[in-house]
């Protein structure tokens, strides 16, 4: 079946960056994939020459500077690759990005089937469905999706977040048809049987119990999430107490409502011929029937506290420490960009404020780290810290709040802002150095609601944040009502 725009597909949108491709960072796995040119047959002279040329190129690039080594002035502020988008008649959104540098391709399929789609009492349903997606379909026996990909030298994985379930595989580019066949088969004919449900659920619950038993801090992370996101839809754990009671009817209903083409994004990145790939996509996916209309995600509903929320927990055999989080809701235009830079100022890099203050200057903590959690409609900064005892826990908390007060009172210096921008740019571009990184980036952007058209401005708007912007953001959002602390110590 050939694909034609006149057949009912929406017009394509083609994005082209305003800059040339930067140098990429490749890992040693790229060298192994050069062998895929030969397959299981004896290599011809032409294959040997091609493989040798690719190995030489990869070695040169591996030995040379990559994106991380570019200085701030010379690094791009626009998206360093091109892509195009279009939609099939069944509502499936397609993103294609060609990169012929290595004989690899990544296929990623995202479904709007994250934990926010679970109803009360269904906690764990989204994660269970993610795992059931590997339990076979009409033409693929249980777990053979994994076997097919690994047999041709590929790798695959899946993940579930608040807004989506994401499945992806990277394999030799001459195996693109295999990946599309596998993904289309489970999209249209997933086999959800009572036996598969029972076995998958038992495996997940056993792994969960083992994690709780072996990690003394595991349950503190769950408690902290519930405090930081008091809306049950946003703060419940990936595996909740209701997973054991999920019925087959509930599981089937969730799958039929959310694992449908009009609630999905297919992204293909790598060594592809775009015209041929469009034909393959039409061949494997266009005949899949759409599902019912999917309602928008529910917005967060948080009760604004009058003061900071502070709780305590006990751990078995662990050290003293704490979680501290700041919730940002609702975010206004420009807030997201400030938040990304502030995360780098506070805890990204060895010279960041919190690591310098707690680990080097005050010596109140043994370990401190942080992360930025961006969810639909709400974001949060999370800090995790180990200290030697309760006294040092209290001192570390005061030191963090002191640094945040300093953000409000004094503008970030030009040198500190320059370091934060440089680190942010490095991490942003390093993520886009592989097919998988680009594919995940594009799928996440497709679900983010900001639109793929805005990606060309994404990096530049973050790097344009000023010291005045940061001070105003800190004064507005770093208030006690948005702060949550969970302290823990040994029993």
Q: What is the pLDDT of residue 184?
A: 99
Sequence-ordered list of residues with C-beta below 8 angstroms from that of 62, at least 6 positions apart, any chain:
26, 27, 28, 30
Q: What is the pLDDT of residue 138?
A: 97
Same domain, 273 and 329: no
Q: Do 318 and 445 fall into the same domain?
A: yes
Same domain (yes/no): 121, 198: yes
Residue 129's pLDDT is what? 98
Q: Measuring CA to CA, which residue among 355, 430, 451, 457 is closest to residue 396?
A: 355
| Whole-number pLDDT of residue 14 | 40
**Is residue 74 in some structural domain?**
no
Residues 108 and 60 in one domain: no
pLDDT at position 197 is 97
Tell me, letter by letter, the H, E, C secondary structure of 32-51: HHHHHHCCCCCCCHHHHHHH
Q: Which residues contact 261 (CB under 8 A, 6 or more apart)?
A: 88, 90, 91, 92, 187, 285, 288, 289, 290, 291
Last residue in a domain, options 17, 37, 69 = 69
Residues 423 and 341 in one domain: yes
- The residue segments making up the domain with residue 31 are 8-69
Summarize the chain as % helix, strand, coil (round to 5).
Answer: 50, 20, 35
The rounded distance, in Å, linking the Cα atoms of 425 and 433 is: 13
What is the mean pLDDT for each group of 10 consecutive residues in the chain (491 residues)?
Answer: 32 37 34 38 37 38 37 61 97 98 98 95 95 98 97 98 98 98 99 96 95 93 94 88 92 98 99 98 98 92 80 88 96 95 96 97 97 94 97 98 97 97 96 97 92 89 97 96 95 76
Domain count, the chain: 3
All residues at 6 or more sequence positions from 271 whose CB lies less than 8 Å from its CB, including other chains: 98, 99, 100, 101, 102, 103, 104, 105, 173
Instruction: Answer yes or no: is 281 within a domain.
Output: yes
pLDDT of res. 241: 81
- Residues 165 and 244 both lie in one domain: yes
> In b/e form, how buried is each residue of 335-347, taking b as 16+ CB within 10 angstroms?
bbbbbbbbbbbbb
In a domain, 124, yes or no: yes
Whether residue 367 sits in one domain with residue 248: no
Do 273 and 361 have their domain in common?
Answer: no
CATH number of the domain bearing residue 274: 3.30.830.10
Whether 318 and 281 share a structural domain: no
Residues in the chain: 491
Do 16 and 141 belong to one domain? Answer: no
Residue whose pair of structure tokens reads 């393959």 in the numeric block:
280
H or E segment at 398? helix 390-409
269 and 131 in a common domain: yes
In whole angstroms, what is the distance from residue 294 CA to residue 310 CA?
Answer: 38
Question: Is 3 within the bounds of a domain?
Answer: no
Instruction: Find out whether 325 and 224 touch, Cβ atoms under 8 Å.
Output: yes
Q: Examine the domain organization and report whether 61 and 122 are in the same domain.
A: no
């Amino acid at each position: 079946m050939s694909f034609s725009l006149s057949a009912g597909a929406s017009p394509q949108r083609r994005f082209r960056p305003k800059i040339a491709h930067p140098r990429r960072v490749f890992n040693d796995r790229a060298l192994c994939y050069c062998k895929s040119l030969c397959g299981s047959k004896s290599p011809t002279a032409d294959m040997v020459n091609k493989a040798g040329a690719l190995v030489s190129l990869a070695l040169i690039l591996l030995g040379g500077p990559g994106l991380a080594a570019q200085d701030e002035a010379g690094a791009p502020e626009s998206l360093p690759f091109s892509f195009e988008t279009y939609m099939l008649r069944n509502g499936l959104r397609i993103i294609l990005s060609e990169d012929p540098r290595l004989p690899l391709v990544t296929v990623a399929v995202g479904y709007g089937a994250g934990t926010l789609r679970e109803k009360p009492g269904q906690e764990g349903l989204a994660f269970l469905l993610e795992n059931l997606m590997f339990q076979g379909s009409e033409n693929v026996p249980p777990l053979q999706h994994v076997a097919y990909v690994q047999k041709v030298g590929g790798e695959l994985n899946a993940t579930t977040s608040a807004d989506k379930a994401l499945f992806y595989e990277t394999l030799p580019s001459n195996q693109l048809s295999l990946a599309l066949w596998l993904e289309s088969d489970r999209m249209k004919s997933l086999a959800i049987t009572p036996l598969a449900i029972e076995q998958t659920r038992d495996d997940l619950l056993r792994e969960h119990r083992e994690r709780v038993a072996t990690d003394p801090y595991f349950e503190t992370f769950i408690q902290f999430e519930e405090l930081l996101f008091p809306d049950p839809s946003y703060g419940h754990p990936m595996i909740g107490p209701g997973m054991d009671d999920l019925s087959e009817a509930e599981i089937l209903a969730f799958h039929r409502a959310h694992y449908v083409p009009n609630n999905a994004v297919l992204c293909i990145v790598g060594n592809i011929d775009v015209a041929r790939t469009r034909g393959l996509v039409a061949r494997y996916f266009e005949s899949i029937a759409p599902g019912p209309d999917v309602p928008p995600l529910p917005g967060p509903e948080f009760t604004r506290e009058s003061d900071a929320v502070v709780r305590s927990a006990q751990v078995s055999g662990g050290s003293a420490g704490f979680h501290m989080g700041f919730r940002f809701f609702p975010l206004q235009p420009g807030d997201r960009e400030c938040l990304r830079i502030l995360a780098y100022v506070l805890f990204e890099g060895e010279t960041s404020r919190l690591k310098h203050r707690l680990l080097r200057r005050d010596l109140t903590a043994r370990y401190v780290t942080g992360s930025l959690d961006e969810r639909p409609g709400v974001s949060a900064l999370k800090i995790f810290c180990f200290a030697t005892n309760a006294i040092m826990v209290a001192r570390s908390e005061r030191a963090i709040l002191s640094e945040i007060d300093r953000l409000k009172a004094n503008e970030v210096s030009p040198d500190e802002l320059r370091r934060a921008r440089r680190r942010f740019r490095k991490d942003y571009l390093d993520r886009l150095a592989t097919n998988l990184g680009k594919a995940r980036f594009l799928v996440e952007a497709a679900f983010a609601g900001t639109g793929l058209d805005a990606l060309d401005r994404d990096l530049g708007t973050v790097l344009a944040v000023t010291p005045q912007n940061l001070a105003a953001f800190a004064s507005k959002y770093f208030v006690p009502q948005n702060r949550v602390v969970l302290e823990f110590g040994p029993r």
